[in-house]
Amino acid sequence: NLRDSGMIIFRILEKLDYRIDFKNPNKCNLFVTNVLHCHPLNNRPSTSAEIRNCHNFLEQELEIVKPSIILLLGNDAKNWFGVKSTFGEGVGAFSSPLCYIRYRKIKYGKPENKTYKFTALVCAQHPASAMRIGPNIVKKYEQILLINLKKAIKTMALGNSIGNKNTIENKIHRE
């Protein structure tokens, strides 16, 4: 049930004491997404046609929010952002790593005035994958995702507070 998988993410964000400031969306430094906001039936992977049809919505949202941290849920999101590491093969595959972080320069804006922002991409298997396996994996998934989000928040805060991006640039070059 996708509603239940959304509750997994909600619980994790609650533990981070994360709140969205709807009056000022630019203050949000964490953005949670899959490539498509309308999930395909039967939990199948998104088709390339569906991604082509819907990616403009995601690009426009990112342009508005310009997040410092993006939580990518599932292989479709990870692949769309160009992250090459894998989680496991096939629907229902759940293997290590359940979650990992990559740091990138993300482009925002129209082609004539693109800007770049250092961004932490927290890549996680979709929570529905954990739910198919059982409650013990859901608990492990929540713990690992929470740890990785805290690491990303700390790294991005450190990089921003010292007034330069050396901390983040070093992480990008080590990948």
pLDDT digits (tens, 9 = 90+) for 143-163: 888 888 888 888 777 765 544
* Segment holding 114, helix H or strand E: none
- Per the model's pLDDT, the better-predicted residue between 137 and 113 turns out to be 137
Global pTM? 0.77
Report yes or no: 97 and 122 within 8 Å, Cβ to Cβ. Answer: no
Report the DSSP pairing between strands 30-33 and 69-73.
parallel
pLDDT digits (tens, 9 = 90+) for 115-125: 777 888 888 88
Q: What was the pLDDT predicted at 114? A: 73
Q: Is the pLDDT of residue 94 over 70?
A: no
- Per the model's pLDDT, the better-predicted residue between 93 and 117 turns out to be 117
- C-alpha pair distances (Å), 51 with each of 54, 59, 134, 156, 169: 5, 12, 29, 29, 30
- C-alpha pair distances (Å), 27 with each of 22, 34, 66, 150: 9, 21, 9, 18
Report yes or no: 50 and 36 within 8 Å, Cβ to Cβ. Answer: yes
